[in-house]
Structure 1
């Protein structure tokens, strides 16, 4: 990725300011579309994730292309290229029969796989798949322009907004970034399509933003091609619902509205090609990460939040649950690639695939959480169980209540609050996050928030796949004791044979495979050497009940050699010290 260059000499009209971010510069005025500079990290991480996903997506398509070609060669002939809706046979197209692909293949993106070949490219050379993207809430166009400039495999991005003033701003900013002029494209040579480039001589032309294929230019002359950024005005839901057929789905959709993205999820999960990417931002953390608006949380996301220190992780799981249930209605399933709780919002990246069989797993990846109102101990109850049999099936109802849970909390005697339903599966795909991190380390000089990206991605890549975290400070407050250091708590867990990592959602947090009772025993052992002033502990309180119990196992606080590798290592900016706010909604 190239480093940001200084803004070129641009005429700045009265009442306008020039804003520079990475490779992009835009003009802003007081009555212009909404732009929050605090979201630069959001835009940086989005560029890195989408770019990495596009490479993975192209590699998968190349593997399928190579596999089909190998099968044809083994059969001793060239198979017939499957015709897409709207395609016509042109002279020279090969006539043979190809075996039908599995049902999952039919759901693949119908967009062309390769660019139009040039005279310097042999007809049988594979050209990487270039993807299409819809930014449904483009505002100033900054994000869409950055995608166009910084992601090599992007075919085009549709910058959509409902506001006429925002659309005017987008067009102006696209123009000053040199993306507004039409570029020539060969209209009658070579072929695009799922298996173009195999010498079949099929020409399907360039696809428009609406999925239509224009008439090829005569005599092989150059035909106009739209800009990398295609600007349109309209309601985001209509823009999505207009692209729900197999022939015109987008490869990626970015939802970054002001507030909740919940009203747009149903349309978004239908408008994405198989294996495509959905990017979601929700800034209504007051609803997601508290119990102050539980009825609103349920209305938006189909679940209620928690009143606990791990509320920001619960917010991520509530949004993932909403996406998962929306996708499941259409026989589609989600795979979270990266799920981040950042400042005042959540940012989630999931892949969407069509698989009715995998949809059956959704119940086992969904559950409710029982959270003690006294000590915040949690018990997770899945809604279903997956017991694989010889056919890979075997889906049964879950059994409850969770092990060790009674009517009252066994640790402090408190009552339980119910949270969820929420996603209880993994928040990230570790291999993918490591690949994004590798990109940022090697090519991330142009990201303005590179140091924070490296820190948060490092933590996310190491994060345990268990629900919820705790902080030593919060538990020390619960026990009314002196807080042990992070190295002492982590070493006690590691010495006992438990796994533990940080959580990206909170500074000083610990995620562990140990049960809450085992964590409490570490603090009870610690208190023996650091006595609590019982005069300040109210009789019958949760603290008094926690202190009344003896530890079942003595904790060993000897510094563990793995602590520095897991919790310190290279000094990274894992968490921001600045306090950002969402900003003010545009009044247009």
Structure 2
């Protein structure tokens, strides 16, 4: 065995890899969750086929697709076809073959010749040659080759960085009703550090706001929808996840030109106050029901803007971001299905259980969120406990939830005015020092306005969510070993490929030296 060879055991797979093919153990949660999602999807997809057959739709179903013989690591002739477009070691594809039932075929593709050699060896070692087939190709080219015939039921895109270059081909190579699994790791771009780069890659302006992780998910979803709409297709998100150093979405893709007309009503620009972090949404389109026929919908352009030139709460100006996806980012029914089918033998099962439980409690029709520390920090007031603030919102007659993206998140349908009124009432009970209330600051302008009513902070019976009562692992601590996205794989097309970091060493000095010579 080569000295550079690594032996990796994860789930039911055991693989060998050499050279600089990329493997990140932190992503085990990603792979475990993907297995759970595809397992639930495959079951649901099989049931949909049977329903279509019973309605007379011409769908070929063999007996091998029944629940009684649905076993992992066994080829199912009427099962799902999966493409892992960026396979690297082949670990994910092998785990899919060995741990997901109702699978017909898996294509494990990579552009690196050395990576494909690893994939071939690992497929044989794990005895999944009947299901997993290696492919040495450019991912986008491979998907374009499948856009008309032999489309895939599932396509998994887990690139290093931005996935946008793969989306055009992916939305064409997926079957009607198929599942796309897409990861993005360029969080600095999506979270507002470089909004101009975000626009060039995703067609949306990102903002540096406290709910940047949810905004990142919604930017990615609108980007996928935009690519799908060009071909008369649209998406339905099943689960949208922010975890560790990446975001991951699971969406179904459907065909329907008429349904694409609803897209503008699912998108909005975001007005973000630079002083108090309040936000408002400006939809791109609105739907109005026909007065004569409620089944008919009229597509209209909304009036705007949604805010005044200065923030009504603190008097500061706004930044404009987006467009972002404003429709639900999860399917509650599907989340429950994944919770039921997820195997407790997975190493990260407790985390899957906890995260999905929080997701199942999230408010679906409320984009973005506040954070407890920011609401308190803006007006320099003593921070209330999470249960106290949640109780105040519930006592006011509004809904509130956590989001899995932030342990101090406040997601609520209460108007921003009500949220600040509640904080004003809290400040009355816990007055701040006059030295901290400087004229024309957000704190001064917000506290200068009296609350419209006195809000109650009495403990509400629904303030403590079920996932918290049950003690689920809801918010993951930073895994110190191997933390972060790691380095990009260097086992690429040719042996002449060198690390970008090494290539750029001393670049500025070389350029300066060249300029002095010239």
> Pick from 171, 175, 196: which aligns with 1:295?
196
Deviation at 1:33, TM superposition (A): 1.2
Q: Deviations over 1:118-164 (max 9, x none)?
A: 9x99xxxxx99411010000000010001111111111110000000
Candidates 444, 449, 452, aligned match of 1:549: 449
Distance 1:567 1:178, change over 3 A: closer
Match of residue 330 from structure 1: 231
Partner of 1:114: 62
SS of residue in 2 equivalent to 1:400: coil
Match for residue 250 of structure 2? 349
**Distance in 2 of aligned mates of 1:577 and 1:148:** 30
Which of 106, 115, 126 is residue 166 of structure 1 equivalent to? 115
1:482 correspondence with 2:382: yes
Q: 1:470 to 1:499 in 2, by over 3 A?
A: same
Q: Pick from 116, 126, 140: which aligns with 1:237?
A: 140
2 CA distance for matches of 1:328 and 1:285? 25
Residue number among 322, 338, 348 corresponding to 1:449 in the alignment: 348
- CA–CA distance in structure 1, aligned partners of residues 4 and 110 of structure 2: 23
CA contact (8 A) 2:336 2:360 kept: yes
- Provide the residue aligned with 2:499 in structure 1: none
CA distance in 2 between partners of 1:166 and 1:17 (Å): 13
Query: Does residue 376 of the first structure (1) align with residue 376 of the second (2)?
Result: no
Q: What is the aligned partner in structure 2 of residue 21 from structure 1? A: 10
Partner of 2:163: 261
| Alpha-carbon separation, structure 2, partners of 1:113 and 1:380 | 46
- Which residue in 1 is equivalent to 2:401? 501
**Aligned pair count?**
477
Counterpart in the other structure of 1:194? none
Task: Give the counterpart of 2:324 among 422, 432, 439.
Answer: 422
Measured after TM superposition, the shift of residue 55 of structure 1 is 0.9
More displaced 10-residue stretch of structure 1: 387-396 or 374-383: 387-396
2:503 matched residue in structure 1: none
Distance 1:51 1:398 in 2: 41
Distance 2:467 2:439 in 1: 37
Alignment of 1:199-278 (within 5 A): 227-245=130-148, 247-278=149-180
Cα distance in 2 for partners of 1:58, 1:534 equals 66
Is 1:144 matched with 2:46? no
Corresponding position of 1:39: 27
Whole-angstrom distance in 2 between the partners of 1:128 and 1:551: 65
What are the superposed Cα offsets for residues 188-216 of structure 1, whole Å, 9 maximum, x if unpaired? xxxxxxxxxxxxxxxxxxxxxxxxxxxxx
Q: SS at 1:394's partner residue?
A: strand
Q: 2:463 aligns with which of 555, 558, 563?
A: 563
Alignment check: 8 A CA contact 2:398 2:414 kept: yes
CA contact (8 A) 1:479 1:547 kept: yes
Aligned-partner Cα distance in 1 for 2:156–2:465: 35
1:388: how far off? 3.2
Corresponding position of 2:220:
319
CA distance in 1, matches of 2:87, 2:65: 32
Q: 1:484/1:362 Cα in 2 relative to 1: closer, same or farther (>3 Å)?
A: same
Q: Matched residue of 2:370: which SS?
A: coil
Partners of 1:271 and 1:551 in 2: CA distance: 55
CA distance in 2, matches of 1:114, 1:335: 28
Cα offset, 1:537, TM superposition:
3.0
Q: Which of 183, 188, 200 is the aligned partner of 1:286?
A: 188
Counterpart of 1:97? Answer: none
Contact 2:195–2:207, Cα closer than 8 Å, also in 1: no
SS at match of 2:56: helix
**Larger radius of gyration, structure 1 or 2?**
1
- Which of 263, 272, 294 pairs up with 1:362? 263
**Is the contact between residue 50 and residue 61 of structure 2 (CA under 8 Å) also seen in structure 1?**
no
Contact 1:502 1:567 in 2 (8 A): no
1:397 aligns with 2:297: no
Q: Does 1:577 find its partner at 2:477? A: yes
Retained in 1: the 8 A contact 2:268–2:326? Answer: yes
Displaced runs of 4+ in structure 1, greater than 6 A? 115-118
Q: 1:13 Cα deviation (Å)?
A: 4.6
Q: Please tell me whether the aligned partners of residues 211 and 368 of structure 2 are also in contact (alpha carbons under 8 angstroms).
A: yes
> What's the offset of the Cα at 1:116?
6.8
Q: Is the 8 A contact 1:62 1:128 kept in 2?
A: no
Q: What is the CA-CA distance between 1:343 and the residue it aligns to?
A: 1.3
1:114 Cα deviation (Å)? 3.2
Query: Which TM-score applies when normalising by structure 1?
Result: 0.79
TM-score by length of 2: 0.89
Per-residue CA deviations over 1:484-525 (Å, capped at 9, x if unaligned) read 001100010111111111111111212111011111111111
Distance 1:25 1:388 in 2: 57
Stretches of structure 2 lacking an aligned partner (at least 5 in a row): 70-75, 492-518
Report what 1:527 is aligned to. Answer: 427
Q: Determine the C-alpha separation between the residues in 2 that align with 1:55 and 1:461.
A: 20
Contact 1:334 1:353 in 2 (8 A): yes
